Structure 1
């Protein structure tokens, strides 16, 4: 009887040891938890400098997004919103149309979205639209270098303006001289006729 009891005890011990070993292995072999959703890319990109504002801003995330909780705001250099309508979700991408007539300067994109598995994601970044219509720095420097000579140019223009009235009076002077000659000739002729009549 003692032998039978001893063998049963050893078997029970083996039964208890196996589950314990299995439990010890589980934490090692369990799959890792799913990673949080992140912003993979954006268009325009962060810190980008563009010649003009694109028709829409697009954000692409690492997981599929939900339309209900997608929020995107685009703010211009004057602090006004340039987004048009509501953000549109397509798979992992969220986009919003913007007013392409907005001024040059720095723009801020802020977003708060929720992935399909419930992970919220929020953040912001900036990009810049340069003023392509204004003069370049080299042109502004050249204009500044030419400024000291501008007073001389203004004096020359002023002198030319002062000379214009004298030139415009030339026809009057010539006409007056001719009139004086005609009057002198007529006076001489009258005098000669008088002398001729008297027989001088």
Structure 2
């Protein structure tokens, strides 16, 4: 009678199991969740019938007050006077110093969450108060560039995405495969 041979998992099976574990566990990892804008008042692409007096931005994570910047500009890229940003937990806000005239405006922000991760972006909104005058526009004389496309300044870039997760998963799988290969060679030589 032949002795029963214990079945050990193959290297390919172990690598597949490790990859499946990484795919399931990595997206749920709190370290992978970077801060991002959760809500804004006024909202992205809002068309307001009355000018706002404050801009409030709420993020997913608590902000570092020392590194919070919120800037408001008009269609001509002129900076609108506001207060210094006030930070309460995950919310940053500024008070607008003067009433806004009709026109397009861009809110730009750069914040750093308490974990040290910087996030920046911008978005546009429009004031269309039927009782107010139009906002000043940029000089559109011959040869001077204009920036009338609010979509061009509303692009968000917070630096997060799937690439760091994929690279981390590949590194983990490669490390596990390397350890398994070394263990298998040791067993074969002993």
The answer to which structure, 1 or 2, has the higher relative contact order (CA under 8 A, 6+ apart) is 2
Relative to the length of structure 1, the TM-score reads: 0.51
Structure 1 contact 109–124 (Cα < 8 Å) conserved: yes
Structure 1 contact 37–63 (Cα < 8 Å) conserved: yes
Alpha-carbon distance in structure 2 between the residues aligned to 1:99 and 1:129: 16
1:105 matched to which residue of 2? 103
Alpha-carbon distance in structure 1 between the residues aligned to 2:76 and 2:50: 16
Relative to the length of structure 2, the TM-score reads: 0.53
1:92 matched to which residue of 2? 90
Structure 1 contact 76–102 (Cα < 8 Å) conserved: no
Alpha-carbon distance in structure 1 between the residues aligned to 2:36 and 2:113: 10
Alpha-carbon distance in structure 1 between the residues aligned to 2:81 and 2:121: 17
Q: Deviations over 1:148-169 (max 9, x none)?
A: xxxxxxxxxxxxxxxxxxxxxx
Q: Deviations over 1:60-117 (max 9, x none)?
A: 1111110011011001234322242211111111111113422110000001101111
RMSD over aligned Cα atoms:
3.0
1:37 matched to which residue of 2? 35
Alignment of 1:48-87 (within 5 A): 48-87=46-85
| Gap regions ≥5 residues in structure 2 | 1-7, 9-13, 133-190
| Gap regions ≥5 residues in structure 1 | 1-16, 18-22, 135-200
Structure 1 contact 88–96 (Cα < 8 Å) conserved: yes
Structure 1 contact 105–131 (Cα < 8 Å) conserved: no
TM-fit CA distance, 1:133: 2.2
Please say which structure displays the higher CA radius of gyration.
1
Aligned length: 122
3-state DSSP of counterpart to 1:68: helix
Alpha-carbon distance in structure 1 between the residues aligned to 2:131 and 2:51: 14
Q: Cα–Cα, structure 1 residues 71 and 50, in superposed 2: closer, same or farther, change >3 Å?
A: same
2:113 matched to which residue of 1? 115
Alpha-carbon distance in structure 2 between the residues aligned to 1:110 and 1:42: 12
- Higher percent of residues as helix: 1
Please identify runs of 4+ aligned residues in structure 1 that moved more than 6 A.
23-28
3-state DSSP of counterpart to 1:74: strand
Alpha-carbon distance in structure 2 between the residues aligned to 1:77 and 1:103: 11
